[in-house]
Amino acid sequence: MTVLYGGIEAGGTKFVCAVGTGPDDIRAEARFPTTTPQETIRRALDFFQEQQDRLGGAICSIGIASFGPVDPNPASPTFGSITSTPKPGWRNVDLAGEIRRGLNLPVGFDTDVNGAALAEGLWGAAQGLDTFIYLTVGTGIGGGGMVGGHLIHGLLHPEMGHIRIPHDRQADPFEGCCPYHGDCLEGLACGPAIAARWGVRPEDLPPDHPAWPLEAHYLALALANFICTLSPQRIILGGGVMKQQHLFPRIWAEVPELLNGYIQARPILDQEEMQSYIVPPALGARAGVLGAIALARQAAGILPHL
């Protein structure tokens, strides 16, 4: 019998649950809205219990890649909890604990973006690399990644979406929409910020709209900071806003200008190599749930190798 793993991509808008071993072997999948914690967790438990019955108990562990902030420290008494999220009803919810108790299986737990980074390292755009970042630009902005082959943790976990970047209020008088910081990166450049600034959903703005040079500028500022602090071998940009493929050439052009010759590395100095340095995710929208499956493999002691 093939050993299988369960994955939960716990998003602020929807949960995606899957059973399988990797991108070429997904045996079952379900998607449902993120409502109350009680209802949403119950639906996830029902899905995995149904799959265990169908598959003869083949699922050996569950991985959760969750929206946050979260507590990913296994030594912490609140490990597996969603902490200071602004999402109503979800603050201090013991997500991993509820899943572990409900299924009586080992549970791996991390942020959704760290999970997506793990998946891209195993199966996607960061294969063969041990130091890279994954940034998602959508309803919010979040970042995860690896340094030296290990997912980035420390005091808590990366909050790349909440870095402070220069904000020229004459060029862009928008105050920002982050409930904690106002005009941090997320507050200026997430999807809702674009919609609030221009009064139109990002997907309805034409490629020549002035929203896009401004968006590329804010993202390029962020990437220049990440390049200087983490020295990633590659940067992966995902999320709904980055489906606007015309953003990539703008970012490729602006990042070297901001670094101004200081970082002497070919991907920064050569525009052709830049196009292989700042890239979209190879796994697309599947990166999150596949990252959860990779976290389940870790929880089972089957450590993914990059």
How far is it, in rounded angstroms, from Cα 137 to Cα 34?
Answer: 19
Q: What is the pLDDT of residues 36-49, one digit of tens each?
A: 999 999 999 999 99
Mean pLDDT (whole number) for 251-262: 97
Q: Can you give the pLDDT at residue 301?
A: 86
What CA–CA distance (Å, rounded) separates 222 from 224? 5
Label residue 170 exposed, middle or buried (CB < 10 Å: 0-12, 13-18, 19+). Answer: exposed
Average pLDDT, the chain: 95
Residue 246 is which amino acid? H
Percentage of the chain exceeding pLDDT 70: 98
**What are residue 62's DSSP bridge partners?**
6, 107
Read off the pLDDT of residues 101-117 as tens digits, 9 standing for 90 and up: 999 999 999 999 999 99
Q: Is the dihedral of CA 140, 209, 244, 201 positive or negative?
A: positive
pTM for the model stands at: 0.93
* Beta-bridge partner residues of 237: 135
CA 82/CA 91 separation, integer angstroms: 6
Q: Quick check: 306 pLDDT over 90? A: no
